[in-house]
């Protein structure tokens, strides 16, 4: 199975780069399933039902989120009616929506998508390791064809720990939230594909997707200053491409995808991919 996880989609330009390229990517990479993290889709903060519709229409199958999921309040009554929009699974009991979903491809193959959120340098939240462990126990590879974990977090150590914690039990663990792609895509020893962060789909002439002047001023003056505004220049699309083994559900290949403005382009097929032989 061929999967794509797009990192945090930030604002109008982030959505636009997906709309522009996703139909072609689905064809040229022969993608079976596409996940995008949409927590910053609405002007940098949160996501609306309209944003969801736009992402689904261009070829995204499932939208994950993170700490910004509730920034646009109108998503709170919406999320329970949209099983394709996930929020972190380790939110306290009673949170609306779901943190995981079991999805069927047109040919009947099944993929489990888990959206979990880290705790280091983040809001206090329930244990993501226990939550992911429970779900992996309920849905072992074999019972489902592929398992993709979006682990939304700040600390690289916690994300790497989640990767190894899931090694051999998930097809892939890919981080989101930092808005910067990491260069550590690899297949872990027991067969789980891993990348600490997929990076953002957004304007990289910015401070993690926000207009740089106000962001810099916060550090320089150490005062609250003006509200951060989303950067809306031409975006780059950053994602992790994963190919799973049909027999085991484990990973055969993982490679970054980068295209669009500013960042050095990287196409995930070819020799640069990390393959398991």
Q: Looking at 68, 139, 152, 179, which residue is catalytic?
A: 68
Least Å distance, CB 40 to Fe ion, is: 5
Indicate the SS3 state at residue 166.
Answer: coil
Residues 82, 167, 27, 181: is their CA dihedral positive or negative? positive
Report the distance separating Cα 143 and Cα 237, nearest Å: 32
152 included as an active-site residue: no
Report the distance separating Cα 146 and Cα 113, nearest Å: 8
For every residue of 244-270, DSSP letters joined together read E-TTT-SEEEEEEEEEESSSPPB-SSS
- Give whichever of 171 and 178 is closer to Fe ion, judged by the CB atom: 178
Binding pattern for the stretch 138-177 against Fe ion, x by CB under 5 A and - elsewhere: ---------------------------------------x
- Give whichever of 26 and 179 is closer to Fe ion, judged by the CB atom: 179
Chain centroid to CA 27:
20
Of positions 6, 7, 8, 194, contacts Fe ion by CB under 5 A? 8
Per CB under 5 A, does 40 bind Fe ion?
yes
Per CB under 5 A, does 67 bind Fe ion?
yes
Going by DSSP bridges, is the β-strand pair 110-117/146-152 parallel, antiparallel, or unpaired?
parallel
Per CB under 5 A, does 202 bind Fe ion?
no
Least Å distance, CB 9 to Fe ion, is: 9
Contact residues for Fe ion, defined by CB under 5 A: 8, 39-40, 66-67, 177
Active site residue ranges: 68
């Amino acid at each position: 199975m061929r999967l794509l996880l797009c990192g945090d989609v930030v604002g109008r330009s982030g959505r636009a780069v997906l709309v522009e390229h996703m139909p072609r990517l689905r064809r040229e990479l022969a993608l079976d399933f596409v996940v995008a993290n949409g927590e910053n889709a609405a002007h940098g903060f949160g996501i609306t039902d309209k944003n969801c519709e736009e992402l689904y229409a261009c070829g995204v199958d499932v939208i994950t989120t993170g700490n910004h999921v509730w920034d646009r309040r109108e998503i709170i009554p919406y999320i329970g009616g949209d099983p394709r929009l996930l929020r972190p699974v380790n939110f306290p009991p009673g949170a609306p929506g779901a943190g995981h979903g079991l999805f069927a491809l047109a040919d009947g193959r099944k993929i489990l998508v888990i959206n979990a959120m880290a705790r280091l340098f983040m809001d206090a939240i329930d244990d993501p390791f226990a939550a992911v462990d429970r779900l992996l126990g309920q849905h072992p590879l074999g019972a489902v064809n592929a398992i993709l974990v979006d682990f939304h977090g700040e600390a690289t150590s916690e994300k790497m720990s989640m990767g190894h914690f899931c090694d051999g039990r998930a097809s892939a663990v890919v981080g989101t939230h930092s808005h910067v792609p990491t260069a550590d895509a690899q297949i872990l020893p027991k067969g789980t594909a891993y990348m600490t962060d997929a990076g953002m789909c957004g304007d990289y002439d910015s401070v993690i997707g926000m207009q740089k002047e106000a962001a810099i001023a916060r550090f320089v003056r150490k005062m609250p200053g003006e509200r951060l505004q989303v950067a809306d220049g031409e975006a780059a699309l950053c994602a992790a491409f994963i190919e799973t083994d049909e027999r085991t559900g484990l990973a055969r290949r993982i490679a970054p995808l980068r295209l669009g403005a500013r960042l050095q382009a990287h196409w995930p097929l070819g020799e640069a991919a990390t393959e398991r032989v």
